[in-house]
Chain A
Amino acid sequence: MIRVRIIALAVVATSLAAAGCKPATGGATTAHPPIALPSDPTMARIPLGAPPGAPLALATTTANPYEGDAVAVSDGKALFGAMNCVYCHGGAGAGLIGPPLDAHGWRYGGAPAQIYNSIHDGRPQGMPAWGKSLPPDQIWKLVAYIESLGGATAPATAKMSDMAQGQPSTTGPQAADQDQTDTAHQALIAGNKSDGG
């Protein structure tokens, strides 16, 4: 009888463990429970910029719902490769055909909400609009990853003057460790740079 009980217990424990593991071993962007995202009308009102010194009211009060979320950052990093961002913006956002994302000097604003809009709507001279192919939560995860590269403007302090000088993101460089795909991308980019002169 004891033996049967032990086997039953083991079965229960294994299935529980499997259930517990499921979120962690799932797909790249399934780790999160539903989360409240800023509404579309809010995002549509976010300005690209403001007069020097003036606070970017809506852009700065609209924070990334995944602010400081390490899982979202790694999900965003996976998306950055999967959605081909890396081919134009370079490994770790170092810049290639598209502008770098790890340094300051944003043409269309560096606050998280502005980065969101640049991904969602696209920008002139080559940036496609991703709003049709990526749901909002995945775009926010991409924004979380881009913020982790250190170039984004911290939402609480964003002013035009900050955009010029730069404030390190509060999320910090969590994703500094390179995985294998990233190394491959870096090699690709290094090759391109030497070819192109």
Chain B
Amino acid sequence: MAAPPPSSPAWPLGYLTTFGPRADPATTLTWGLMDISIAVVVIVTALVAVGMLVKRARTPNGDLPPVSRGGAGLTWIYIGVALTVIVLIGSMIWTVQVLAEINSPATKPAFTIEITGHQWWWEARYLSPQPDQDFTTANELHIPVGQPVLIKVMSADVIHSFWIPALTGKTDTIPGRVNLGWMQANRAGIYRGQCTEYCGEEHAKMALFAIAQPPAAFEAWREGQVAPAPAATDPEAVMGAALFNDHCGACHTVRGSNAGGLVGPDLTHIASRQTIASGILPNTPAALGGWISDPQTIKPGAKMPATNLSGPQLNAVVAYLGSLK
């Protein structure tokens, strides 16, 4: 388990190595049960091979003697059944122990994140004891290293499933229900997650990231996210802000501006995210421009329409979004 944690969004979804106390016991259990299963296959195969290869001694005139049953046969049945029962009961106890261990964190969770699955993106609302410190972001969760975080998993439309395999198991998002889970990262890293319950045509393009940071860096991020968007200063971004308000504000929120739509992701600090469109494109001006100009080619069926912005208008909107740090 000495593998380094993933350090970039480009790392593939990995579930064979884990980096937190919710996922680690399950991974150990998985490897342990696999080792036991392999041992069983090897032992049974060896015994069958011995049975096939060891031949009865022939009689002096070359014939095979008739099969005779000795008294010891039943003993081997007893030994086999006893071994199997012991191993199975042991595996069951180990499994139940792991389930109990990962059911709840050892210490009180630092805070709660409400995660809502949408077709096809993830909304994340960070809750705080002070309501004015709550904020909403999308597709990118930041968590402090070494602290458990409670997650409330919900759905806005159909059944999705929240899964960041390096940190936590799968939790379905059921419409009308709140499912509880938790996660904790022991090492800083960028852990990829994915919707893992088929939820419609863009199910495969519904990724998210959990970015584990040292607590100080996390706190700085949180304070940045709580703040409203900075006012645009660059002339191009000012023009982009007006265009965004006219063309995008009915569906997207940018806190601190007139754009207050609730249909799409909150874009208040989109420039601070590493990816766009639910983890399918890097957050570069080129990718952003391509996504805004033609979302239906990149993600057919998504609720975002193509707007007929001119080239300079598109550049202005991209400049504005790039200023939303």
A→B interface (CB under 8 Å): 83-84, 87-88, 96-97, 124-130, 132-133, 184-185, 188, 192, 195-197
CB–CB B303/A97 < 8 A: yes
CB–CB A196/B296 < 8 A: yes
Interface of B is mostly: loop
CB–CB A192/B296 < 8 A: yes
Most buried by B among A83, A126, A184, A197: A126
Total of A-B residue pairs, C-beta within 8 Å: 46
Q: Mark B273-301, 1 if CB is under 8 A from A, else 0.
A: 00000000000000000000010110010
Return the chain B residue nearest A125 by Cβ.
Answer: B157
CB–CB B296/A87 < 8 A: no
Partner of B306, one of A126, A128, A188: A188
B251 at the interface (CB under 8 A from A): yes
Return the chain B residue nearest A127 by Cβ.
Answer: B263
A133 partner residues in chain B, CB cutoff 8 A: 249-250
CB–CB A87/B307 < 8 A: yes
B187 at the interface (CB under 8 A from A): no
Check A128/B263 contact, CB under 8 A, given A96-B305, A184-B308: yes
Q: Measured between alpha carbons, how far is A84 from B307 in the docked complex, in Å?
A: 8
B44 at the interface (CB under 8 A from A): no
CB–CB B263/A97 < 8 A: no
B39 at the interface (CB under 8 A from A): no
Q: Measured between alpha carbons, how far is A167 from B261 in the docked complex, in Å?
A: 34
CB–CB A128/B250 < 8 A: yes
Interface size on B, residues (CB 8 A): 20
Which 6 pairs across A and B sit closest by C-beta, in order of nearness? A87-B305, A128-B250, A126-B303, A196-B300, A88-B305, A128-B261
Partner of A195, one of B251, B296, B303: B296
Q: Measured between alpha carbons, how far is A128 from B308 in the docked complex, in Å?
A: 19
* A149 vs chain B, min Cβ distance (A): 19
* A64 vs chain B, min Cβ distance (A): 23
Return the chain B residue nearest A97 by Cβ.
Answer: B305
CB–CB A87/B250 < 8 A: no
Q: Measured between alpha carbons, how far is A73 from B307 in the docked complex, in Å?
A: 23
B297 partner residues in chain A, CB cutoff 8 A: 195-196
CB–CB B306/A132 < 8 A: no
B247 at the interface (CB under 8 A from A): yes
B262 at the interface (CB under 8 A from A): yes
Q: Measured between alpha carbons, how far is A128 from B263 in the docked complex, in Å?
A: 6
